Amino acid sequence: MLVPLLIAFVGIYALAKGTDVFPVFLRGAEAGLHTAVGILPTMIALLTAVTMLRASGFIDLAGQAMQPVLSLVGIPSDCTALVLLKPLSGSGGLALGQEIMRSCGVDSYAGRVAAVMLGASETSMYTIGIYCGHLQLKRTRYAIPAACVADLTAFISAAVCVRWLG
């Protein structure tokens, strides 16, 4: 209900100001199309890299290597690969979450932790890659370390909250 009301408000406000809405809309749509075309090469490169990492088994191997450390904070071994994949790919994270829930059960500890991890974290590396690629930024300064800390905090918090509320 909020979106239609917001659109109606913008339209009524534009009419009250005497703004011709259609040309403004077309300029915005054109700018959006230019942005979409500009980020397309970066998107293709990122999706290809994620697919290659997943298909090669690297994500699963790295997850197994990290498992002893992550188990100390309560992240189940079934969810360790999700910790690596979710910041890179939302669809890959969802597919892995579905695998976890199918193999462990939706009501299992691993299934609940995976569900909370998927909802509590962001595809931060993907987002940083898209924006920096589109803006042609070479240095991300603190964006990548801050995103890694935020994602790790979300993953640990997911495990703690599921254990605490569970």
Tens of pLDDT, residue by residue over 78-104, are 999 999 889 988 888 999 999 999 999
Report the C-alpha gap between 60 and 101 in whole angstroms. 16
Q: Which residue in 141, 146, 142 sits closest to 124, CA to CA? A: 146
Which one-letter amino acid corresponds to residue 99? E
Check pLDDT > 80 for residue 166: no
Cβ–Cβ under 8 Å, residues 82 and 116: no
State if pTM tops 0.75: no
Cβ–Cβ under 8 Å, residues 34 and 128: no
Domain parsing of the chain, residue ranges? 2-165
Given pLDDT bands bounded at 50, 70 and 90, which one contains residue 50? Answer: confident
Report the C-alpha gap between 36 and 3 in whole angstroms. 23
Task: Please list, in sequence order, all residues whose beta carbon lies within 8 angstroms of the beta carbon of residue 145, skipping any fewer than 6 positions away.
Answer: none
Report the C-alpha gap between 148 and 154 in whole angstroms. 10
Check pLDDT > 90 for residue 136: no
The structure tokens listed for 141 are 């300064």
Task: Please list, in sequence order, all residues whose beta carbon lies within 8 angstroms of the beta carbon of residue 82, skipping any fewer than 6 positions away.
Answer: 63, 93, 96, 97, 100, 114, 117, 118
| HSE-up (13 A, CA, CB side) for residue 73 | 19
Cβ–Cβ under 8 Å, residues 58 and 88: no
